[in-house]
Chains A and B, each alone.
Chain A
C-alpha cells in the first residue's frame, strides 16, 4: 500500500450532512485549516456510533485547535440524516458527515474494501495545505480513541510550527546529574 504521509488531497466533490442540512464539500473546503478525515464502515452499526460519539465529545477541543472534522462512510448523505434522526448519539454530532457512496474518497485514501462497499477505520490528519501529516488505519472491528487523535493533532501542529528537533521536558525535581557524554566532538 502507498505511504500516505505528505500526500496531497486530490480533487473530489461529495454531498454531506451537517446539523440538519445538506451541503456539498470539495477538496478546497479541507484547506486553510487543519482537517481530520474519519472513515468508518457504515451507518447504523454498533462500533461506529461509539467512535463518532467519542469524537463529538471532543469536537470543541478540535475546533479550539483550528481543526475541522469530517466523518466519511460509503453511505449517502440521506442515510446520514436518517441515522441522525434515529440515534441520539448521532444527533448530537456537530461536525460534517460526508457521504461517499461512489467510494471516491475511500479509494483516494486507500481504505475502501471493494467487496463490501465499506471503508476501513482510517483516520487522516491533514494540514492547512491539504497534506496528510499523520494517519492510522484499523480493521473493521477495532475502535479508535478521540483523545489520542487530539494528541496527535496537537503534535502535528507543533512539529509544523517548530520543526521536529524538540524533546519533551521530562525532568524530575531532585534528579541526579547525568554523566557527561561528549558525542558531538566529531563536529570539531
Chain B
C-alpha cells in the first residue's frame, strides 16, 4: 500500500516555466483523465515519477491520480505490466486507455505525457476521418512498445503518434519504455538506436512513422 502522504505535491522536475506551459495546455482539456501510477517507493525513479504525477494532477481539475505498489497492481490492475516500474497509465471513466509510460517522463518525454493526456481527455489532435475509421474497425489486439531515450526528439514524436492511435482504438496499447531504466530489455532487443518500436513482438521499426505507416504495419503483423 502506498502512503500518498510521502509523495510530495511538488516535483523538482517541474519548474515554474514548465508549470506555466502545462497550465496552458491542461487548461484546454475537455474531459477527465486519471493517471494511475504503479511504483516502488524504495526506488528513486518511482518517486520522481510519482511526484511529477501528483504535481501535474494538482494543476487541473480534469486530472486525477492514484498510486499502487507492485503487489496491489498485479492483483487489481491485471491490464498493466507491473513488472517494469514505475509505470503510469492513463485511465478514462475507470478504463485503461492503452496509453502507458514505463519510466520517468522527463526530458523530451514530457511531451509524450502531455500529448497522451490531451489526446485521451480531449479535445485531442486532429486526425483524418478515414484513418480514424480504420483504427476503430480493428478487431485484434495490438501491442506497441516504443523504446526511447529522454534526450531524443524523434522518440517523443513516435510515442505521440502511437499513443494517438491508442486513444482512437480500444484494441491498441501503446507504451513508452525508457530503455535506460531497463538494461535487460536493451540487451534482449539489442537496442543501439532509438526510437525503436516493436509491434506485437514481431515487427521492429526504427525512427518515426506516420499514423498511416503504423497502420500498415499493424495490418501486416496481427498478433
Contacts and interface: CB of A to CB of B under 8 A. Distances in A.
A169 B179 contact: yes
Interface stretch (A17-25, A66-74, A92-100, A158-166): A158-166
B154 A180 contact: no
Contacts of A178: 106-108, 150-151
Interface residues on A, range: 20 to 34
Contacts of B125: 187-188
Contacts of A175: 180
Interface stretch (B31-39, B72-80, B111-119, B214-222): B111-119
A16 B24 CA distance: 68
Given A166-B154, A188-B118, A182 B22 contact: yes
A179 interface: yes
A116 B110 CA distance: 60
Contacts of B207: 162-166
B105 A169 contact: no
A169 B186 contact: yes
B169 interface: no
Contacts of B157: 165, 184
Interface string B38-56: 0000000100100010000
Interface in A112-127: none
B71 interface: no
A165 B154 contact: yes
Contacts of A158: 193, 206
B192 A180 contact: no
B91 to A, nearest CB: 22
Interface residues on B, range: 35 or more
Chain A interface SS verdict (over half): loop
A187 B217 CA distance: 25
A162 B111 CA distance: 23
A178 to B, nearest CB: 3
B208 A163 contact: yes
A180 B25 CA distance: 15
Nearest to A166: B207
A183 to B, nearest CB: 7
Interface in A4-54: none
Interface in B154-202: 154-157, 160, 179-180, 183, 186, 191-195
Interface centre among A164, A172, A183 (most CB of B within 10 A): A183
B13 A177 contact: yes
B152 interface: yes
B111 A182 contact: yes
A177 B44 CA distance: 10
Contact of A169 (B45, B52, B115, B193): B193
Given A162-B207, A170-B149, 14 more contacts: A167-B194, A169-B179, A169-B192, A173-B180, A175-B180, A177-B48, A177-B104, A177-B107, A179-B107, A180-B105, A184-B108, A184-B115, A184-B156, A184-B160
Contact of A171 (B18, B114, B149, B208): B149
27 contacts: A161-B206, A162-B206, A163-B206, A164-B207, A166-B154, A167-B149, A167-B154, A167-B194, A167-B195, A169-B149, A169-B179, A170-B149, A172-B180, A175-B180, A177-B45, A179-B13, A179-B15, A180-B13, A180-B106, A180-B110, A181-B111, A183-B153, A184-B156, A184-B157, A184-B160, A185-B21, A188-B28
B14 interface: yes
6 nearest CB pairs, A to B: A178-B107, A180-B110, A171-B180, A162-B206, A177-B106, A184-B111
Given A169-B191, A171-B149, A182 B18 contact: yes
